[in-house]
Amino acid sequence: MPRLALVMHPSAMLYEAAIAAEVFGVDRSDLAPGGQWYDLVVCTADGQPHPWLAHLPTASYAEIARVDSVVVPSCDDPDENPDPGLISALREAHERGTRIASLCTGAYLLAAAGLLDGRTATTHWMHAEDLARRYPQVDVRADVLYVDDGDVLTSAGKTAALDLCLHLVHRDLGAAAATGVARRLVVPAHRTGGQAQFIAPPPQPRSSGGLAPTLEWARTRLDQPLSVQDLAGHANLSTRQLARRMLAELQVGPLEWLHRQRIIRAQEMLERTDASVEQIAASCGMGTATTLRRHFRRAVGVTPTSYRASFRLAQG
């Protein structure tokens, strides 16, 4: 029976903690080979029951080093200094070979313990840039739902915690058990694509100065062939000057900016219109549906059809 510790640190958030408790703390031995589910213990700083999970067995952080796996839920405030006792317990558990997983911004605690050094990891896309800045020794990926690096695993934001928890069940007890849990929770056993499909487009500059007039001009002509020379000509700049200005103002080059705008246009049309993929490809300057599908999947992680199925806005 796999023994698993759910760490209820002081800034733990209810949603991700509840997901872990639901997956690992509810007896589903009928789904497990040999009829044994997880033996879950909630770990708190003082060993006292947590009010959210008072019905579950509880122990202190010292128990973290005595289990097979540890799950660290998200932090309400990543800026808050982590509990030194917890950091020490996580390091000791890791040194003993315990598998450790973080959910959402729980990755900050693993990074603070040094467990992500030299590894690939993820967190909520809104915090990915900050995590990478604070811990440059970590290869932070903002485009995936979770990262399995063997003995250390991290998940992206919010509901991606469920993806990682189901993945752990798959690893420990097999595909049938993971699929059985997913069915009972009425969720897919495995979601296609990554976190990129949920990332909000960056805000667009709307001021009258700088490059804003040229960028707005280009956005109204995405259905037409546009080149760097076209943008530079409208801005009365050389192509080299345009590239320098865009990198300074937007941190992106002209061609990549154009490509992003075409993908954003495609996303908006998939969400808000009934236009076919072929019509959308023409409207956003991708030419053919095949070209749009290729570039869209590379940028967003799913096909245009899958994206529409997930994000189509209801029409009033």
Domain residue spans in the chain? 3-196, 212-311
- Residue 51: what are its φ and ψ, rounded to 5°? -60, -30
Query: What would the pLDDT profile of 259-279 be if each residue is shown by its tens digit?
Result: 989 998 998 888 888 999 999
Length of the chain: 316
Those residues whose C-beta lies under 8 Å from the C-beta of residue 34, and which sit 6 or more positions away, are none
Helix (H) and strand (E) counts in the chain: 13, 9
Q: What confidence category does residue 208 fall into, taking pLDDT thresholds of 50, 70 and 90?
A: very low
CB atoms within 10 A of CB 101: 27
Q: What confidence category does residue 252 fall into, taking pLDDT thresholds of 50, 70 and 90?
A: confident
Q: What is the pLDDT of residue 204?
A: 54
Q: Are 180 and 31 in contact (CB under 8 A)?
A: yes
Between strands 99-102 and 39-44, the pairing is: unpaired
Query: What would the pLDDT profile of 278-303 be if each residue is shown by its tens digit?
Result: 999 999 999 999 999 999 888 887 88
* 3-state DSSP assignment of residue 42: strand
For domain 212-311, give its CATH number from 1.10.357.10, 2.40.50.100, 3.20.20.70, 1.10.10.60: 1.10.10.60
Report the chain's mean pLDDT, rounded to a whole number: 89
Q: Are 171 and 165 in contact (CB under 8 A)?
A: no
Q: How far apart are CA 40 and CA 37, in angstroms?
A: 9
Q: Are 176 and 170 in contact (CB under 8 A)?
A: no
106 vs 311, more confident: 106
Those residues whose C-beta lies under 8 Å from the C-beta of residue 144, and which sit 6 or more positions away, are 122, 156, 194, 195
pLDDT at 87 over 90: yes
What are residue 44's DSSP bridge partners?
Answer: 60
What are residue 71's DSSP bridge partners?
Answer: 6, 101
206 vs 215, more confident: 215
Query: What would the pLDDT profile of 168-192 be if each residue is shown by its tens digit?
Result: 998 999 888 998 999 899 887 766 6
Architecture per CATH, domain 3-196, reads as: 3-Layer(aba) Sandwich (3.40)
Is the pTM for the entire model greater than 0.85? no
Tokens of 272: 């808000």
- SS3 labels along 194-251: CHHHHCCCCCCCCCCCCCHHHHHHHHCCCCCCCCHHHHHHHCCCCHHHHHHHHHHHHC
Tokens of 52: 């959210």
Element holding 60 (H helix, E strand): strand 58-60
% residues pLDDT > 90 (the chain) = 67
Q: What is the pLDDT of residue 314?
A: 46
